[in-house]
Chain A
Amino acid sequence: MNSRLKESVRNALDLVHLELGARLREEKVTALMILLAAGLTLVLSFFIEGRFMSYKEAADVSDALMEMTLSFLALIMFFLVPPLSAEAIAGERRSGSLDMVRVSLITPTGYVVKKTLSILMVCVFLIILCLPAMSVGFFLVGFQGLELWRVPIILLFFAGNFSAIGLGVSSLSKSPVYAIIMSYILILIIWGVTPLLFHLLLIGSGKSDVATFLIESAYFPLKIIFTWPRHYFSDWHLWAAQLAYLSMTSAVFFFIAIMGLRRADRVGHGLVSFCCTTA
């Protein structure tokens, strides 16, 4: 029994490993990796040039460096993960390889987990790429009042959320293009609703600066990506609440993805097409 379990785990890991290998060879992934590396080099060169030395406090320098690195990383993830996940099932359906996977012994749940893990592994790879840039700031000036370990965790949850939304929509769509458009629309809706929700939770708590930030975010969700939201990492309540919200929405979309795969023979792109047009 034990050896059978080991063999199953080994097989599952092999699937993720092979899929990840294939993904890393995709041109768009390579292009974004190069872009990320170029961005990080730019950040580091600014730092080395002493551009941040005009800041008065060491914490400001570390913040500025962190903001640039993470905003860039989040931006790359924003443009990488939804297309990767939205294309994952719809693309395979269109090319015909989905049928070959469906007749194999992989279950719909296993398939969704495999896809998610391979996408998340790409994100882990991206985060690892950013570590040198983050470490420079950390070792030279430190991050005051900031729990650094929370950063990669929330980034992975964001990536997981993107993946779940992408896979959920993808499992219901025949067209990868529709799936990508719909994923972005849903991400904007969900990320717009999240800050509003937190605003409602935080009213009366005395944290007016956080509430203001979140209200702004509600009207402009992309600000989360473009602005370094220190609050997420310094206030653990906010951090945990954000993780919970992301987990909840991700679970819903993972469930949709699994159900979509189970009923893969009934899928058409009519609904998704209608939603895109309406939106």
Chain B
Amino acid sequence: MYKREIPLLITFLSGMVAVLEYYFPTDATKNAFTVLKNWGIVIAAFALGFGAVNLFIVYGRRFRKAPNPVDRVFSIWLLVLLVITALVGVSLSSASDQYQWIYNSIYLPLGATMYASLCFYMTAGAYKVLRAKTLDSTLLLITAFLVILGNTPLSAAIWKGFFSWRMWIFDVIVSGAYRGIRIGVGIGSIVLGIRTLLGMETGYLGRR
């Protein structure tokens, strides 16, 4: 019972408080919902701690069992840096110069590089893939071409029409398609919300 009924009851009561606060905003419902939201923040922050524990379990296991020595080195390296960063953050605060140095000198350049490296893959990908082989791929090619032209200030500076074409593609073709998707997702979300509230949707409990 404690594994199924109690979580379902908590979900139902929490959901009902949120619904009541929205449709009947009295002081009582507002206060109850405020308390719930603040609990939510605490639980979400706690989940971050669980994330760190999970990292230790997964990479600790990989360090011990991975057949490839490179995997072991990277696993232990991750855990060592995790401990160092956490220790500096907890003992000196994340606003300290030391923590800022770790972030600005190590993590920030690595994170930015990861994103930036996409540029190389996309260039090579466009070169190899964007070929007018079929009608579908020709349409994709033309659209990609116009969007790239419109996206670069250089081409728009040469002729503003490139920018207008891009905007037309975004406003008409892209928005039209995504609006349909959004409406579908919206209706699906309402149904999912009602099913979750009524205990008919239990996927979030981690089992069927």
Interaction A to B: no
Residues of B within 8 A of A (CB): none
